[in-house]
Amino acid sequence: MDSHDHRGQPPLLNEEIELSIVLPCLNEAETIAFCVNEASNFLKRSAVRGEVVIGDNGSSDGSQNIARALGARVIDIPIRGYGAALSGAIRASRGKYVVMADSDGSYDLGNLEPFLENLRAGYDLVMGNRFLGGIHPGAMPFKNRYFGNPVLSGIGRLFFNAPSGDFHCGLRGFSRKAFIDLELQTTGMEFASEMVIKSVLRSKAIAEVPTILRPDGRSRPPHLKPWRDGWRHLRFMLLFSPRWLFFYPGVFLLSFGLLGTTALFFTPIQIFGAILDVNSMVYSATAILIGHQSISFAVMARMVAIRFGVFSRHIGLEKLAKVISLEKGILVGLFFLLLGLVGAGYSVMDWRAKDFGVLNPRESLRLVIVSGTSIAMGFQIMSFLFGVLRTEASTPSSCSPAWNTSQNRSTLRLLSTVVDYCALTELWLLLFRTGRWTIFWTY
C-alpha cells in the first residue's frame, strides 16, 4: 500500500516522469475507473512519461482497489478535505508538472495537451476555463453557473487582478516547483482560491485555456456545498485583501464622518425635509472612529503579511514609514488627545456657568461629541503605533519562504496582537461613548 505523510517534505523528483495527473478521491467507485483510464490513455496517446496519482481521503467503497488495479498510485491522506487530499497527493507525485482534476468524470482528462504545452512554455499555473470551453447541459447548477462562479471570479479579478475568467475551475496544471513555492495551507474547498491568489501575489506566470465540463457520473450528491463553500472562498479572498475588507470601507466611513460632523457642528442641516441634528452628529463621529480603526487594521494586516512573505513589498507603505516615524505619530496622537481634553474642559466650564444644571443637548452636545471623538482618535493613533512597534519587535527580520511550525505559531501570535489591539480599542470606545463620562459631560 502506497502511503505518504503529506505534511512532510516531498520526495525527490524523478526526472523521467514529466507529468503527474492527480485526482482527489472520497468514495468515487462509480467514476474512478473512467477517470484513471482516460488519464492513462492520454499519457499513452501523447507519448508523455507520466503517472496517475490518487489522493484518497478514506474511501470506504473500494475506490482505492479499483484505482490500483488500473495502474494508478494511491496515496492515503488521513486529514479530511479537498485541499488536504490534493496537497498530499501532489507532494507525493514525481512529475515535473502536475495536472489536477476531480475524479467524478466531469473534466476531460483526454485533452490535456493545452495545459502541458503552456507548462512546457514556462508558465507556472495554467487554469482551465469552463465558460470558454463549454458547459454541457446539466453539468453545472444554474446558481453556480450564472451567480456563484461569475461573482466569485469577478471578485478575484477585482481584488487581485487575477487573469482568470473561471477562478474555481478544478482542472488546472502547474509546475511542481511552483506548487512547493506557494506553500498552500488550506485543507478545504478554498484550496483552489488559495492557489490562484498566492500565484498572483507571488508574481507567478499564469495562463488560461478553454476546457469543457461534463455532467458527473455519480448517482449521489456532490461533496461541494454551494453556499457553504462559496462563503469559504469569499472569506478567504477577503482575508487576503485588506484593501477591500478594511481600507476602502475605512476611507469611505472616515470621509463621510468628517463631512457630517464638521457640517453639523455649526448648525442642523435639513435634507429632503428631514432635519439632521446632534443625533446624526453622534453617528457621524462614530463613522470617523470606525473608519480610522478600519484603515489602521488594513495597514497592520498588510505589514504583517509583508513581513512573512505573503505579500510583496509595498512601495507606498515604505515611503509612508519613512515620513511618519513613531515619535511623529505619537505627537499627532497627543495633539488630538489634548485638543479633546481642552474641548472637554470648555464644556465643563460652560456647565459650571449654568450652575451644573440641566443643559440643552442641542447646544452642549456638539462640542462634547467633537471633543470626545478627538480624545478617542488620539488614543487610537497612539495605540496603533505601539501595536506596530510590538509587531516589529516580535517579528523576525527575515523569514524563510518555507514556514516551519514555529513560524506559523509566530504568525498566529502576530495576528492575535492585531486583533487584541482592535478589540481593546473598540471596548474602550464603547465604554467611552456609552459610559459615565458621556453622561457626565452631557449633563
3-state SS track over 7-76: CCCCCCCCCCCCEEEEEEECCCCCCHHHHHHHHHHHHHHCCCCEEEEEEECCCCCCHHHHHHHCCCEEEE
| 97: Cβ contacts below 8 Å, ≥ 6 apart | 18, 19, 20, 116, 119, 120, 173, 174, 175, 176
Q: Are 17 and 95 in contact (CB under 8 A)?
A: yes
**Coil, strand or helix at 63:** helix
pLDDT of residue 321: 64
Tens digits of residue pLDDT in 302-324: 776 666 555 666 666 667 666 66
Residue with cell 471578485: 155
Cα Rg of the chain (Å, integer): 28
pLDDT of residue 357: 86
pLDDT of residue 411: 45
Tens digits of residue pLDDT in 249-300: 999 999 999 999 999 999 899 888 888 999 999 999 999 999 998 888 888 7
Residue of 11, 185, 171 whose CA lies nearest to 105: 171
| 181: Cβ contacts below 8 Å, ≥ 6 apart | 202, 204, 401
pLDDT of residue 141: 83
Record the cell numbers describing residue 420, joined without a space. 487584541
pTM of the model: 0.66
Q: Are 90 and 98 in contact (CB under 8 A)?
A: yes
- Could you say which residues of the chain have pLDDT below 70? 1-15, 221-226, 229, 304-318, 320-326, 385-443
H or E segment to which residue 415 belongs? helix 405-434
pLDDT of residue 228: 73
pLDDT of residue 226: 67
**Coil, strand or helix at 208:** strand
Residue with cell 481634553: 341
Q: Are 172 and 125 in contact (CB under 8 A)?
A: yes
pLDDT of residue 325: 67
| 145: Cβ contacts below 8 Å, ≥ 6 apart | 135
